[in-house]
Amino acid sequence: MAEVLLFHHALGLTEGVTAFAEGLRRAGHTVHLPDLYEGRTFQDVEAGVGYAGEVGFDTILARGEKAAEGLPGAVVYAGFSLGVLPAQKLAQTRPGALGALLFSACVPVAEFGAAWPEGVPAQVHGMDADPFFVGDGDLEAARALVAGARDRELFLYPGTAHLFAEAGTADHVPEAAALCAERVLCFLDALGR
């Protein structure tokens, strides 16, 4: 079974993120769920991103790195939207990363280094018409990340919702969320073999 460090999105550590983590735990995986917002939650993405901007994105990244301290190197780094920042940075820069799961966001690889590390598989999940994922360049970054790689995949789901995988939000798309969870569990199970 895999060990996962899962970072929340701009709404904070919500019940939906916790429920997603619980689903992974029920499947036998160990999931660490740090709170990058120190207890704060928000009702809309813009307010949450505004808070992250006030705190500073470098601070959010540093909190993510601190959350990884004391964990073994062989960890799968996962993040929803804003949480992709620390997840992707750790997957690219922390020795021994087992893999990366990036939901509704992807950063150009050059942001955290010259290249994606060899032997670190990844999945990127997003909606094909999500204005944040498509309009902000994340889809383009995801396509570049998976180009020519047999161990990195991009999964696009039909729709415009940003937080489609999180139950309890207006963006939740149950069918896409279920398929996403199934693919994530297959990814994690394959790492445990």
Q: Is it the case that residue 114 has pLDDT exceeding 80?
A: no
Note whether 136 and 103 are within 8 A (CB): no
Q: Is it the case that residue 193 has pLDDT exceeding 70?
A: no
Domain boundaries, the chain: 3-191
Q: What mean pLDDT value characterizes the chain?
A: 95
Q: Is it the case that residue 8 has pLDDT exceeding 90?
A: yes
Phi-psi map region of 183: left, alpha, beta (phi>0 left; psi -120 to 50 alpha): alpha
Q: Is it the case that residue 67 has pLDDT exceeding 70?
A: yes
Question: CA–CA separation, 163 vs 11, rounded Å?
Answer: 10
Q: Is it the case that residue 113 has pLDDT exceeding 90?
A: no
Global pTM value: 0.96
Domain 3-191 annotated CATH 3.40.50.1820: yes
What pLDDT, on a 0 to 100 scale, did the predictor assign at position 167? 87
Q: Quick one: what percent of the chain has pLDDT higher than 70?
A: 99
